[in-house]
Amino acid sequence: MKLLITKIWNWWDVWLLKWCAFLFGIAAGAYFHAAVLPYVGVILVVAALLAIRPVLAYWKK
C-alpha cells in the first residue's frame, strides 16, 4: 500500500474532510475557552467520524 497516491476526490469526500479539519481547528483553538471546553470531546469525536469516509475513499482500490 502506497501512502501517497493520486486520487480524484468526490465532492462529498472533500466536504467531509473540510468539516473534519474545521471542527478539529475549533477544538484545538478553543481548548482553553470555558464555553467550549466541556464540548471538546464531542467536537473531536464528530471530527473523527467525519474523517472516516474520506480516509477509506483515499486508500480504497
pLDDT digits (tens, 9 = 90+) for 10-34: 899 999 989 999 998 888 877 777 7
Q: Which three cell numbers stand for residue 38?
A: 466541556
Decide: pTM greater than 0.75: no
Cβ-proximal residues to 14 (8 Å cutoff; 6+ apart), any chain: 54
Cα separation of 30 and 46, whole Å? 16
- What's the mean per-residue pLDDT of the chain? 85
For position 1, what pLDDT does the model report?
A: 63
Task: Return the DSSP state at 4.
Answer: S
Residue 45 has pLDDT above 90, yes or no: yes
